[in-house]
C-alpha cells in the first residue's frame, strides 16, 4: 500500500516537473532583451523550415515605412510562422542596437512572430559554394554590392533552412500555398524577389554553383533574376503561361506573374495613384511594389486615398497607424529595398 502511494507521488512529481519545464520554455522570452525575443540563435528558429525571411544588406537599422509594412504584413498573413529579418547593421553581439528606439524598429520588435537578427554573411555562406567566392573577393571592389550580397544571402539562407524569401517591398495579402516555387516576373522570366523552397533543395544548390561560376558584379541582376531564369531554363522547358495558371516542372512551381506582379514594373506608379475602385488582387498572394523604380521617393500620404495607402491600412495597420498617421502625415520611403 505504501509502495503504491510512493509510486503515485513519484509519477505526479515527474508530471509536474515536465509541466513546469514546458512553462519555462514558453516563457523564456521574459528573460531576454526586447528585440531578440528568444535567446535561441536564428538557426533554431529557422530550423523548422517554415520561416519567412527578409534581408537588409545595407547598414541601415531604421526600417522605412515600406519595409515595416512588408514585414508586418507577412507576420499578419503567417501568424503561426516565424518572420525573420536579418540586418547587416545589427552588430553580432546580443546587445540592443544603437538606434533601437526608432519607431519602425520597435514596432517590428513588438510583433510576436517577428525576429530581428544580425546578418553574418561569412557564417551564412559556410558549407555552401558561396564560401570560397566570398572569402576570395575584395568587397570594396565589387559593383552593386548591396544587391549582389543580398542575392547571395537569400540563396544560402533558403538552401540551408528552407522557407520563403521576400524582398522588403513585398506586401503579403494571403498565404502562398506552395513549398517549392519561383515567381515569374514575365513570361519565361523569373524574378528573385520572392521564392520558397524546402531545405537543401538541389535547385538552390545549383543556383549557388552557377552564381560563383558566372559571377560578374558589373552586370546588374546577373546573380539575381538572370541567374534564376538561366537555372530554370536548365531545369525545365519553359513555355508561355496559359491564362492565369501556374507552370509545374519537376518538383517546383513557376508561379504566374499575377501572383506577385499584378502591376508590372513599367506601371509601378499605379500603386501611388487613386483608383476608381481598388483592385481585388484575387489572383495574387503578395504585391511587389518595385521600390527600386521609385527614385522619386514616393510614399504614403495620409488621406490621399491612393492604392498604396489603402493597402497599408488593410495589410499593415500598425505601420499605417504609427508611421503614416504621425505628426506630419507624410512619410517617404526611398532607399533600402528593391
Ligand atoms: C542613429 O540615429 C541618429 C539620429 O537619427 C543618427 O545620427 C546616427 O547616425 C544613427 N546611428 C546608427 C549607427 O545608425
Ligand atoms: C580592397 O580594395 C581596395 C580598393 O581597391 C584597396 O584599397 C584595399 O587595399 C583592398 N583590400 C585588400 C585586402 O586587398
Ligand atoms: C527535387 O527534384 C530534384 C531533381 O529531380 C531532386 O534532386 C531533389 O532532391 C528534389 N527535391 C525535393 C525536395 O524533393
Ligand atoms: C474577389 O474575391 C472576393 C472574396 O472571395 C469576392 O467577393 C470578389 O467578388 C472577388 N472579386 C473578383 C473581381 O473576382
Say how many CA atoms lie within 13 Å of 108 toward its Cβ. 31
Q: Which ligand 4 atom is nearest residue 282's CA?
A: 1
Q: What angle is formed at CA 294 by the lines to CA 278 and CA 253, rounded to 5 degrees?
A: 65
Pocket test for ligand 1, best of 61, 89, 98 (most atoms within 8 A of CB): 98
d(Cα 42, Cα 30) in Å, to the nearest integer? 18
Q: What is the pLDDT of residue 223?
A: 93
Q: Tell me: the pLDDT tens digits for 141-174?
A: 999 999 999 999 999 999 999 999 999 999 999 9
Ligand 1, CB within 6 Å, residue ranges: 61, 98-99
- Computed over every residue of the chain, the mean pLDDT equals 86
Q: For residue 319, is pLDDT > 60?
A: yes
Q: Which three cell numbers stand for residue 173?
A: 495579402
Rounded mean pLDDT, 69-91: 94
Q: Tell me: the pLDDT tens digits for 203-239?
A: 999 999 999 999 999 898 999 999 999 999 999 988 9
| Residue nearest atom 7 of ligand 2, based on CA coordinates | 140
| DSSP assignment letter at 8 | H
Domain locations in the chain as residue ranges = 42-328
Alpha-carbon separation of residue 51 from 45, 102, 201, 292, 305 (angstroms): 8, 25, 15, 25, 33
Q: Which ligand 2 atom is nearest residue 138's CA?
A: 1
Find out whether 190 and 225 touch, Cβ atoms under 8 Å: yes
**Sheet with 181-186, side-by-side order of all strands:** 114-118, 83-87, 52-56, 163-166, 189-197, 181-186, 252-255, 247-249
Between 83 and 21, the higher pLDDT residue: 83
Between 112 and 329, the higher pLDDT residue: 112
d(Cα 197, Cα 168) in Å, to the nearest integer? 18
Binding site membership of 14 for ligand 3 (Cβ less than 6 Å): no
Find out whether 286 and 194 touch, Cβ atoms under 8 Å: yes
CATH, domain range 42-328? 3.90.550
Between 30 and 314, the higher pLDDT residue: 314
Between 301 and 17, the higher pLDDT residue: 301
Q: For residue 330, is pLDDT > 50?
A: yes
CA of 99 to the centre of ligand 1 (A): 6
Pocket test for ligand 1, best of 90, 97, 99, 100 (most atoms within 8 A of CB): 99
Query: Which pTM does this prediction carry?
Result: 0.82
CA of 144 to the centre of ligand 1 (A): 24
Amino acid at each position: 500500500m505504501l509502495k503504491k502511494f510512493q509510486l503515485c507521488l513519484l509519477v505526479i512529481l515527474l508530471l509536474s516537473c515536465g509541466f513546469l519545464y514546458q512553462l519555462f520554455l514558453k516563457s523564456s522570452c521574459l528573460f531576454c532583451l526586447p528585440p531578440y525575443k528568444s535567446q535561441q540563435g536564428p538557426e533554431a528558429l529557422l530550423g523548422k523550415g517554415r520561416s519567412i525571411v527578409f534581408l537588409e544588406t545595407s547598414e541601415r537599422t531604421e526600417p522605412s515605412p515600406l519595409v515595416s509594412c512588408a514585414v508586418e504584413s507577412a507576420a499578419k498573413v503567417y501568424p503561426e510562422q516565424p518572420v525573420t529579418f536579418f540586418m547587416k547593421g545589427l552588430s553580432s553581439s546580443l546587445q540592443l542596437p544603437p538606434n533601437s528606439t526608432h519607431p519602425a524598429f520597435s514596432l517590428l520588435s513588438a510583433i510576436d512572430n517577428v525576429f530581428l537578427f544580425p546578418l553574418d554573411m561569412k557564417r551564412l555562406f559556410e558549407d555552401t559554394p558561396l564560401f570560397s567566392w566570398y572569402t576570395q573577393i575584395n568587397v570594396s571592389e565589387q559593383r552593386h554590392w548591396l544587391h549582389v550580397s543580398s542575392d547571395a544571402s537569400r540563396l544560402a539562407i533558403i538552401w540551408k533552412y528552407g522557407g520563403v524569401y521576400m524582398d522588403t517591398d513585398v506586401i503579403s495579402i494571403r498565404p502562398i500555398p506552395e513549398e517549392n516555387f519561383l515567381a515569374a516576373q514575365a513570361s519565361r522570366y523569373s524574378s528573385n524577389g520572392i521564392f520558397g523552397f524546402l531545405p537543401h533543395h538541389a535547385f538552390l544548390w545549383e543556383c549557388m554553383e552557377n552564381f560563383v561560376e558566372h559571377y560578374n558584379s558589373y552586370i546588374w541582376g546577373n546573380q539575381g533574376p538572370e541567374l534564376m531564369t538561366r537555372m530554370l531554363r536548365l531545369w525545365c522547358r519553359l513555355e508561355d503561361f496559359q491564362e492565369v495558371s501556374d507552370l509545374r516542372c519537376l518538383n517546383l512551381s513557376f508561379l504566374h506573374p499575377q501572383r506577385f506582379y499584378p502591376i508590372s514594373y513599367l506601371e509601378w506608379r499605379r500603386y501611388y495613384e487613386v483608383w476608381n475602385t481598388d483592385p481585388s488582387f484575387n489572383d495574387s498572394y503578395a504585391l511587389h511594389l518595385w521600390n527600386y523604380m521609385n527614385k522619386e521617393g514616393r510614399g504614403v500620404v495620409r488621406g490621399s486615398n491612393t492604392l498604396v495607402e489603402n493597402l497599408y491600412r488593410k495589410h499593415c495597420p500598425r505601420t499605417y497607424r504609427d508611421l503614416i498617421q504621425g505628426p506630419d502625415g507624410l512619410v517617404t520611403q526611398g532607399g533600402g529595398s528593391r
